[in-house]
Amino acid sequence: MQRVLGIILFLLVTSHSFSQNKIVVFQSDFGLKDGAVSAMKGVASGVSPDLKLYDLTHEIPAYNIWEAAYRLQQTVPYWPAGTVFVSVVDPGVGTTRKSVVLKTNTGQFIVTPDNGTLTLIAESLGIAEVREIDEAVNRRKDSRKSYTFHGRDVYAYTGARLAAGSITYEQVGPVLPKEVVKIPYQQATLGSGKLKGNISILDVQYGNIWTNINGDLVSQLHPQYGDILHVSIFHSGKKVYEGDAPYSQTFGAVAKGKPLSYLNSLLQLSFALNQGSFANTYHIGSGSEWSVDVTLKPKK
């Protein structure tokens, strides 16, 4: 009987510890012009040929930690628990910034430098645990003399080992406080009839402006389709745009080239020009230093 109970306990512990699903999703600012991404995938395949390797994006603008943070927030919730993300936007490579693996409250793992990349995912999905990568055991063999490609030598290697079940999450390294380096930005708020938020990202293909103001917050202004939202956009606190945008369900609700406001595919307040680029036309960017104020214009 004791032997049976022991086997059951072992299976339960093993199932919990090795809950990864052999999926690794890569993100970086490397681009695809050279072999850097292929090298990371080669390291992962060397750990286990059974891994399923996917790309989130490798077109993050160079050194843009904020955009890396946003793309994780945009993508991670749609992947099953146990998925391992390897995110490498690392301008401080080789310095004292920590290399960590965060486990979200929904069960995904993110392998990354703790340099602000985890800002948004920590807020949206929550932190179940954070562990610092122990490079004494979780580093590619014979890579000690390399200081500038931790994406290959530490992150891809550790992420692959974790995804494959070669190590448990506990074997990544020592547990850290449930805190990560965060980039300050304008949180979405509503007060005195004014919405405030951050321009999180540009819909780069079309030049639309995506904010972090969610649809539930917008609904508290009680806009109806066709009502006018008055928009002010700021860069580092300086106003760079002011205008009106009808609240619309579709782009075609306004004439070609005219502005509109709408809820994007993530149900967040956004601004666009119908068949035009709002960002290019008005020289608007995105990131932690970009913010918006929005009010509902009274009807005449």
pLDDT digits (tens, 9 = 90+) for 18-28: 467 999 999 99
Mean of per-residue pLDDT scores for the chain: 92
Q: What count of residues does the chain have?
A: 300
Helix-, strand-, coil-residue percentages of the chain, each rounded to 5: 25, 30, 40
- pLDDT of 4 > 90? The answer is no
Taking residues 110-121, what's their average pLDDT? 97
For CA atoms 185, 267, 123, 89, give the dihedral sign. Answer: negative
Q: What are phi and psi of 195, to 5 degrees?
A: -85, 135
DSSP code, position 76: G
Tokens of 256: 């070609």
Q: Which domains does the chain have, with CATH numbers?
A: 2-176 (3.40.50.10790), 189-296 (2.40.30.90)
- Sequence letter at residue 50: D
Residue 135, burial from CB neighbour count under 10 angstroms (0-12, 13-18, 19+): middle
Identify the pLDDT of residue 20: 79
Taking residues 132-144, what's their average pLDDT? 85
Which of 12-16, 121-125, 293-297 is predicted with the least confidence, judged by mean pLDDT?
Answer: 12-16
CA distances from 40 to 5, 97, 145, 152, 158 (A): 42, 21, 17, 5, 11
Taking residues 289-295, what's their average pLDDT? 98
Taking residues 256-273, what's their average pLDDT? 97
Identify the pLDDT of residue 11: 43
DSSP code, position 276: B
- pLDDT of 239 > 70? The answer is yes
Report which of 274, 288, 289 is spatially closest to residue 207, judged by C-alpha positions. 274
Identify the pLDDT of residue 93: 85
CA distance 282 to 240: 8
- pLDDT of 13 > 70? The answer is no
- pLDDT of 116 > 70? The answer is yes
**Does 289 or 299 have the greater pLDDT score?**
289
> Partners of 208 in the beta sheet?
203
> Partners of 238 in the beta sheet?
235
Beta-sheet strands, E only, within the chain: 23-28, 52-57, 84-88, 99-104, 109-113, 127-132, 175-176, 189-191, 194-203, 208-214, 228-235, 238-246, 259-263, 268-273, 290-296
- pLDDT of 1 > 80? The answer is no
Taking residues 188-216, what's their average pLDDT? 96
Distance from the first to the final alpha carbon of the chain: 81
Per residue in 97-107, pLDDT (tens digit) is 999 999 999 99
Tokens of 159: 């992420």
Q: Which residue has the tokens 């080669």?
A: 42
Identify the pLDDT of residue 149: 84
Per residue in 21-78, pLDDT (tens digit) is 999 999 999 999 999 999 999 999 999 999 999 999 999 999 999 999 999 999 999 9
CA distance 22 to 3: 30
Per residue in 207-219, pLDDT (tens digit) is 999 999 999 999 9
- Sequence letter at residue 106: T
Give the pairing type, strands 228-235 and 268-273.
unpaired
Identify the pLDDT of residue 202: 96
Torsion of CA 231, 234, 238, 239, to 10 degrees: -20
